[in-house]
Structure 1
C-alpha cells in the first residue's frame, strides 16, 4: 500500500469513529431524557460505614494490595 492508500484508510476509519460516537451520544441523550426523576429508593439502599477501626482479627490471612502477605517478602 502506498502512503496515500494508508491515509485514505485512516480517514475512512476516523469518519466511522466520528459517526459511531455521534450515534452513542444520541442514544445516551435519549436515555437520559426518557428517565424519570429519581425516587427516594436510592437513599434507602445506602449503607452507613462506621468510622471505628476494623477488627484486626478479621484481616490476619489477607495480602496487602500488591505487596504480598504480611509475613513474607516480595520476590
Structure 2
C-alpha cells in the first residue's frame, strides 16, 4: 500500500474511533476522568495523524473552497415576484 492509502485507512479508523467514543460518552457521560482522558487521547491521535499527513512526501491536502459570507438580513421580496415555484404550482393557485 502507498503512504496515501495507509493514511486514508488510518483516517477511516479514526472516524470509527470518534463515533465509538461519542457513543461511549452518551452512556458514561462526559464528566468522568476516564471519559475525558479517552476523548483527549483520541483528539491527540487525530492531531498527530494530521501532522503526519502534512509531513508525508508527495501528499497534497485538499484545498477548501473559500467561504462566502451570507447575510442574515431578509431577502428583498421583489426577487420573488412574477415567478413560479417550480414543482409547487403557480402563486395564484391551481386551475388558473
TM-score normalised by L of structure 2: 0.32
Point out the structure with the larger strand share. Answer: 1
Q: Which has the larger radius of gyration?
A: 1
Tell which has more relative contact order, 1 or 2 (C-alpha 8 A, sep 6+).
Answer: 2
TM-score with structure 1 length normalisation?
Answer: 0.38
